[in-house]
Amino acid sequence: MSGIYQNLFGPRVPANELESNRVRYMVPTLFLSLARVLLLLSLFLPYWHMSLQAPQYPNGLSVTAYVNHLTGDVHEIDALNHYIGMRPLEEAASFERAASVWMIIAMVLLVEGAAFVHSRWAALLALPVVLFPVGFLLDLSYWLAHFGTHLDPKAPLSSSIKPFVPPVLGEGSVGQFSTVSSAGAGLWFAAVCSVLVVVALYFHRRAYKPLHDRLAAATPTAKEQPCAS
Amino acid sequence: MKTAKLSIPRTLAMAAVVGAMLVGSSPTVHADWQPPAKKRVKKEKEVAPPTQAQLDALAKLAVARKLTPDDLMAAAKTYMPSGRIDDYILFASGGQSGSVFVVGVPSMRLLRSIAVFTPESWQGYGFSGENDPIRERLKVNGKDVDWGDTHHPALSETKGEYDGQFLFIGDKANSRVGVIDLRDFETKQIVKNPLTISDHGGMFVTPDTDYVIEGGQYATVLGNGYAPLGDYQKSYRGLITFWKFDRATGRVDEAKSFAMELPPYFQDLADAGKGPSEGLVFLNSFNTEMATGGIENGKPPFEAGASQRDMDYMHIIDLHKAEAAFKAGKVEKINGFSVIRIATSISDGLLFLTPEPKSPHGVDVTPNGQYAVVAGKLDPHVTVYSTEKIKKAIAEKSYSGTDPYNLPILNYDAVMEAQVEVGLGPLHTQFDEKGYAYTSLFLESAVARWTLGGDYAKLHEEQPWKLVTKTPVQYNIGHLCVAGGDSASPDGKYLIAMNKWSIDRFFTTGPLLPQNFQLIDISEGGTTMPVLYDCPMGVGEPHYAQMIKADKLKPWGVYPEVGWDPQTQAVEPGAPAPGAERVVKKGNQVEVFMTAVRSHFSPEHVEIDEGDHVVWHITNTERTMDATHGFCIGGYNINLSLEPGEYERIEFTADKPGTYPYYCTEFCSALHLEMMGYLTIKPKDYKAAAK
């Protein structure tokens, strides 16, 4: 039983070891904590912007995506999109938006768990967070492509606007509109979070691998050896 | 791992709170209202001065177009490059058009009209078929009256300064008050004075807009009564009405309003005191001769009979005391309206007269409230009264006699401060912040600048109470207007001369010519006061105007929410919503619930039967500025202007069968022509053709 436990959760740090090498064991935990805070904060921040410019919109139009909702000129963009047969933006990624808050909370809890697990399984727990920003962009690309290429062929302007895929980041154009898409602060937070977790995993391994190896080659010696660094 | 163990519950709690906040508050798309216009933070571009080559080209152009250097300066002072917004907004009455006109200054571009007393089809004002609340509101004594004669607009004030919230406009022809809400520039209320049929001296507001003042004009038998003209002095009466304004509801409260019976002189323009004179109201009059005309019977015509005396009477009303008398019930109800009788005015000390020369046309209180200026019309002077001396004379009962109705006449010499000879036909006076007053001279066709004295003397270099300069205007000036020129804080950069005749200023548009608004630069003191621009007003004959700094107005770009009823300034609960469009038929009662959005109405088929009675609701669900839709049904006199978010209701009886394409009347989009539908009204005797 203790073997499985040992395998899954890795070794516990003996008290005297923790006393003498506090920094070594604190670093991964600190990085993981910071990552968790950033990811939670990102819930309140915009993940993605698209701004649109056209002659009759001197102030431009814009739409801002948060993980669970859209703000900006959604009403007007939908009104315009109906001419080319695009579905209302609200219909895009409805599952993702409904699940996003709980998914992010779950990922935060997994990272929390990773800090507690002193084995290679920590990396598995942290994996969703590491992949999250890329996953967000891939999902967004999918929806942009899906919406842009599934236009109602009976729409009024279907003959003048061919199916198109707006770029997920950067500049594009459709009809009289030029568009600029960019990552919002939330996505940047998620990206930094992803990097922090990778860095944390590196320090995590550096702290617990030797401990693990030492315990694996378990000797009955009562004396503690200093850890190799 | 103490840290890890401790942080699990902490993070859990944090996550739960965050999750609850996010999921609970906003799990869906926010497709609702966004503030209409993102703030126009247009960065002021630095402008490089013209190069010598450009100046040479300009000089060449000026010579070719016969433009003097002064003309070039005037053009440079008024020209607005595309996209630049005017600094001031002028609200001009529209005379017989029954409307108010909104003009940008200094460009003098007509921005829009506001329908008030006259149905107006562009704004869909009075074109919603049967039981139109606007048509109901326009009725006078039960009769359809489809026009008004708008004369004097008054912006609402707070502490004597324009607050940009409401505009009041009087209808001389039918003695009515229109209340316009300056959030959407639409008329919200029309109040008919039940005591008389016509007026002139409206509207003027007290410094906090507690009351909107309507001065009378032609004496009548109050309450729409009758008496032969031979009984003029006995039975005819003049009038001033104090309409209580409720700012919270944005409406005049007729039950809290009252009027004062006045002698049958022709009362005219009024002004409310402010600062030290707050609580006093000043009112001009002419025809204190009480002439009744009769040119056809060999009697002197009104124009002569009403101009015999060298002095008429300025009326001075103690509004606080009058309000107290009204609240104490010292009134008579005439036609259901509270009227303070002359006897009460005498016994309670509410009303005083003082001589004013001669057949004057305008009493204007200086910004500091210390003086009231009367322009003599048939006397070449403006006469300045000290409000402090008036108060003293009232307190000391310094009377020179009484009028035929036993009203006390304050001793002229005790209240008069100064007279300034300004020229022929002085009519109206406005003020700036530099200690100058400006008086329109109708007969001379000029604007006179003259100096105020007292506390104002230190603001200018000239002697007090002296004419400084005159600027000729083209032609026959009536009112004039300075931004805030009747308020506690004028902003004297521009003056608008409101000229009655234009003669040779514009292309001759047949025998009916436009009026001419002339823009005058009064920003420099002394004798510099050039005319900058002529603006034709070919849509009615404006009388007075008020001008406000544009940034004091906070208009809506779109209605705040979808389904907005401008009449109540609230969301109409029954307004059709997207997805709930339908046609409901019960017997011969049809109810249509329609939405309008670019570029379709929903539904597009409304199939009914001859004789059906139709109530038709439409909501414009747009949230974008200028995405206005129209809606018309030909042959049924129906046209709506549905501004973004607006809800409207129409009603008609389908008594003329046929096929009626309905369509959007405001060019809305590339597919505007396709924004239509069919109303088919099946004849009672219709039989489907055999197939």
Tell me what pLDDT residue A207 has.
86
Q: In 3-state terms, what secondary structure has residue A90?
A: helix
Rounded CA-CA distance A178/B565 in Å is 36
Tell me what pLDDT residue A219 has.
52
Strand-by-strand arrangement of the B150-158 sheet: B150-158, B161-171, B176-181, B186-192
Nearest CB neighbour to A43, from listed B11, B18, B671: B18
Mean pLDDT of A6-29: 82
Q: pTM score, two decimals? A: 0.88
Q: Which positions 26-65 of B are in contact with A (Cβ < 8 Å)?
A: 26-32, 34, 37-38, 40
Torsion sign, CA atoms B545, B550, B555, B557: positive
Cβ-based contacts of A97 with chain B (< 8 Å): 27, 29
pLDDT in tens, B588-615: 999 999 999 999 999 999 999 999 999 9
Work out whether strand B589-597 and strand B613-620 pair parallel, antiparallel, or are unpaired: parallel
Tell me what pLDDT residue A16 has.
82
Are B190 and B177 contacting, i.e. CB atoms less than 8 angstroms apart?
Answer: yes
Q: In 3-state terms, what secondary structure has residue B317?
A: strand
Which among B14, B22, B561 is the top mutation candidate for probing chain A, defined by the most A β-carbons within 10 Å of its own β-carbon?
B22
Are B227 and B234 contacting, i.e. CB atoms less than 8 angstroms apart?
Answer: yes
The first and second tokens of residue B148, run together, are: 């008004």
Are the Cβ atoms of B1 and A97 closer than 8 angstroms?
A: no
Element spanning B56, H or E: helix B52-64
- Tell me whether B20 touches chain A (CB under 8 Å): no
Are B603 and B581 contacting, i.e. CB atoms less than 8 angstroms apart?
Answer: yes
Residues of A with CB under 8 A from a CB of B: 12-13, 25-26, 29, 33, 36, 40, 43-44, 58-59, 68-76, 78-79, 83, 89-90, 97-98, 101-102, 105, 108-109, 112, 115-116, 156-157
pLDDT of A113 above 50: yes
Tell me what pLDDT residue B691 has.
64
Which among B2, B6, B8, B11 is the top mutation candidate for probing chain A, defined by the most A β-carbons within 10 Å of its own β-carbon?
B11
Q: Say which residues have a Cβ less than 8 Å from residue B248's Cβ, sequence separation at least 6.
A: none
Mean pLDDT of B421-439: 97
Cβ-based contacts of A83 with chain B (< 8 Å): 598-599, 670-671
A65 CA: distance to closest CA in chain B (Å): 9
Q: Which of B266, B204, B212 is nearest to B239 (CA)?
A: B266
Tell me what pLDDT residue B35 has.
44
Partners of B214 in the beta sheet?
B202, B241
The highest-confidence range among A162-171, A207-216, B494-503, by mean pLDDT, is B494-503
Are B614 and B590 contacting, i.e. CB atoms less than 8 angstroms apart?
Answer: yes
Cβ-based contacts of B11 with chain A (< 8 Å): 36, 108-109, 112
Tell me what pLDDT residue B377 has.
85
Rounded CA-CA distance B439/B447 in Å is 6
Tell me what pLDDT residue A227 has.
44
Q: Which residue has the higher pLDDT, B256 or A174?
A: B256
Rounded CA-CA distance B247/B188 in Å is 13
Tell me what pLDDT residue A117 has.
87
Cβ-based contacts of B83 with chain A (< 8 Å): 58
Are the Cβ atoms of A58 and B22 closer than 8 angstroms?
A: no
Q: Say which residues have a Cβ less than 8 Å from residue B60's Cβ, sequence separation at least 6.
A: none
pLDDT of B501 above 80: yes
Mean pLDDT of B194-219: 94
Per-residue pLDDT band at B690 (split at 50, 70, 90): low
pLDDT of B41 above 90: no
B1 CA: distance to closest CA in chain A (Å): 7
Are the Cβ atoms of A78 and B31 closer than 8 angstroms?
A: yes
Q: Which of B484, B476, B471, B489 is nearest to B526 (CA)?
A: B471
pLDDT in tens, B614-649: 999 999 999 999 999 999 999 999 999 999 999 999
Torsion sign, CA atoms A76, A81, A86, A92: negative
Q: What percent of chain B has pLDDT over 90?
A: 91
Are the Cβ atoms of A68 and B624 closer than 8 angstroms?
A: no
- Tell me whether B577 touches chain A (CB under 8 Å): no
Q: Search chain B and give the residue with CA nearest A37.
A: B11
Tell me what pLDDT residue A10 has.
77
Q: In 3-state terms, what secondary structure has residue B565?
A: strand
Tell me what pLDDT residue B32 has.
41
Are B479 and B440 contacting, i.e. CB atoms less than 8 angstroms apart?
Answer: yes
Q: Search chain B and give the residue with CA nearest A39.
A: B15
Rounded CA-CA distance B102/B205 in Å is 20
Mean pLDDT of B255-265: 98
Q: Which residue has the higher pLDDT, B122 or A217?
A: B122
Distances (CA, A) of B508 to B253, B477, B501, B513: 46, 19, 12, 7
The first and second tokens of residue B364, run together, are: 């204007």
Nearest CB neighbour to B15, from listed A72, A74, A109: A109
Q: Search chain A and give the residue with CA nearest B32.
A: A75
The first and second tokens of residue A178, run together, are: 């030029």
Phi and psi at residue A219, in whole multiples of 5°? Answer: -110, 150
Cβ-based contacts of A71 with chain B (< 8 Å): 30, 34
Mean pLDDT of B432-445: 97
Cβ-based contacts of A177 with chain B (< 8 Å): none
Mean pLDDT of B393-409: 97
Mean pLDDT of A212-224: 64
Mean pLDDT of A31-38: 93
Rounded CA-CA distance A100/B283 in Å is 70
Q: Which positions 65-124 of B are in contact with A (Cβ < 8 Å)?
A: 83
Tell me what pLDDT residue A220 has.
52
pLDDT of B33 above 60: no
Q: Say which residues have a Cβ less than 8 Å from residue A68's Cβ, sequence separation at least 6.
A: A43, A97, A98, A100, A101, B22, B23, B26, B27
A40 CA: distance to closest CA in chain B (Å): 8
Tell me what pLDDT residue B20 has.
42
pLDDT of B447 above 50: yes
Cβ-based contacts of A25 with chain B (< 8 Å): 1
Strand-by-strand arrangement of the B311-318 sheet: B266-272, B280-286, B311-318, B351-357, B408-410, B399-402
Q: Search chain B and give the residue with CA nearest A58.
A: B40
Tell me what pLDDT residue A216 has.
74
Q: Which residue has the higher pLDDT, A199 or B689?
A: A199
The first and second tokens of residue B577, run together, are: 């919503």
Distances (CA, A) of A59 to A53, A137, A206, B37: 8, 27, 53, 8
Cβ-based contacts of B622 with chain A (< 8 Å): 79
The per-residue DSSP string of A101-168 comes to: HHHHHHHHHHHHHHHH--STHHHHHHHHHHHHHHHHHHHHHHHHHHHHH---TTSTTTTTS------S
**Amino acid making up residue B127:** F
The per-residue DSSP string of B206-265 comes to: -TTSSEEEEE--S-B-TTT----GGGHHHH-BEEEEEEEEETTTTEEEEEEEEEEEE-SS
Mean pLDDT of chain B, nearest integer: 93
- Separation of CA A97 from chain center: 14
pLDDT of B357 above 80: yes
- Tell me whether B578 touches chain A (CB under 8 Å): no
Q: Which residue has the higher pLDDT, B122 or A176?
A: B122
Tell me what pLDDT residue A123 has.
87
Mean pLDDT of A157-163: 83
Per-residue pLDDT band at B18 (split at 50, 70, 90): very low
DSSP symbol at A12: P
B10 CA: distance to closest CA in chain A (Å): 10
A109 CA: distance to closest CA in chain B (Å): 7
Are the Cβ atoms of A108 and B670 closer than 8 angstroms?
A: no
Q: In 3-state terms, what secondary structure has residue B99?
A: strand
Q: Say which residues have a Cβ less than 8 Å from residue B157's Cβ, sequence separation at least 6.
A: B163, B205, B206, B207, B208, B209, B487, B488
Are B108 and B535 contacting, i.e. CB atoms less than 8 angstroms apart?
Answer: yes
The number of helix segments (H) and strand segments (E) in chain A equals 7, 5
pLDDT of A41 above 70: yes
Q: Which residue has the higher pLDDT, B11 or B145?
A: B145
Per-residue pLDDT band at B495 (split at 50, 70, 90): very high
Mean pLDDT of B541-567: 97
- Tell me whether B7 touches chain A (CB under 8 Å): yes
Q: Which residue has the higher pLDDT, B31 or B293?
A: B293
Per-residue pLDDT band at B26 (split at 50, 70, 90): very low
- Tell me whether B8 touches chain A (CB under 8 Å): yes
Strand-by-strand arrangement of the B494-499 sheet: B477-482, B494-499, B515-521, B531-537
pLDDT of B39 above 60: no
Are B114 and B187 contacting, i.e. CB atoms less than 8 angstroms apart?
Answer: yes
Nearest CB neighbour to B30, from listed A58, A70, A102: A70
Q: Search chain B and give the residue with CA nearest A80.
A: B598
Q: Search chain A and give the residue with CA nearest B39.
A: A59
Q: Which positions 626-645 of B are in contact with A (Cβ < 8 Å)?
A: 627
Question: Looking at the predicted complex, does its ipTM rise above 0.85?
Answer: no
